[in-house]
Structure formats: structure tokens, C-alpha cells
Amino acid sequence: MGMQINGLTAYNKALSDFQNTQKTFSNSSIDLTKNANIDPQSFNKTLTDSLGEVNNLQKEKNSMITAFASGETQNVHELMISMQKASVAVSMTSAVRNKVLEAYKEMSRIQF
């Protein structure tokens, strides 16, 4: 019984804190356009540069595989490192793409 009272008290306190925070944010008027001096080209440039870097890692991986297969180099460690770098870069790019698509779908469901 005592454990239930402690849990109920903690729940009521958390609910009260949440409601107070919600009131604080709903009463404050934040002007989001005041600091809107963001250059849209910077996002485009960042995205293009990031995709270019992923492409460069893929090209480096392919050239190292070719060099290793032809016997030009015997450094297995460097080959494995470049393969892992390229793999992680592609995985991260795919994860970001998936999150952007999720956000787009969520935005398209919003009714104005």
C-alpha cells in the first residue's frame, strides 16, 4: 500500500511539473522569424558536400579493392578500414534519408 502511495505521489508531481511547463510555453510568445537569417543554400551545400564525401569513400574503397585484387598492394588492414568507412557512410546516409522521408510523410499528414 505504501509503495502505491509513493508511486501516486510521484505521478502527481510529474503531472504537475508537466502542466506547469506546458503553461509556461503556451503563455510565452516566441518569434521564430526574428532570427531567421539562415541561408537556404547552406543546407544545400552541406547536403551536396556530404553526399560527395560518401561518393569519394565509395570510390576509394573500390580502388583499394582493385589494387588489392591485382596484387599492387598487400595491406589488408587499410582495405578493411576503407571498406568499413564506406559501409558506415552509406548506412548513415540511408538512415538520414529514412528520417527525412518520415518527416516528410508526417508533414504531409498535417492538416491546415
Q: Is residue 12 part of a domain?
A: no
- Does residue 65 form part of some domain? yes
Share of the chain above pLDDT 70, in %: 76
Say what the pTM is.
0.59
Torsion 59-91-65-77 (CA) sign: positive
Please check whether residue 23 lies inside any domain of the structure: no
Structural domain that includes position 65? 47-112
Q: How crowded is residue 82: how many other Cβ atoms within 10 Å of its Cβ?
A: 20
38 assigned to some structural domain: no
How many domains, in total, are found in the chain?
A: 1
Residue 83 lies in a domain: yes
What are 97's three cell numbers?
Answer: 534519408
Of 30-34, 41-45, 50-54, 101-105, the range with the lowest mean pLDDT is: 30-34
Greater model confidence, 1 or 70: 70
Q: Are 57 and 32 in contact (CB under 8 A)?
A: no
- Say whether pLDDT at 60 is over 50: yes
The answer as to whether 29 is a domain residue is no
Mean pLDDT, rounded, for 65-76: 92
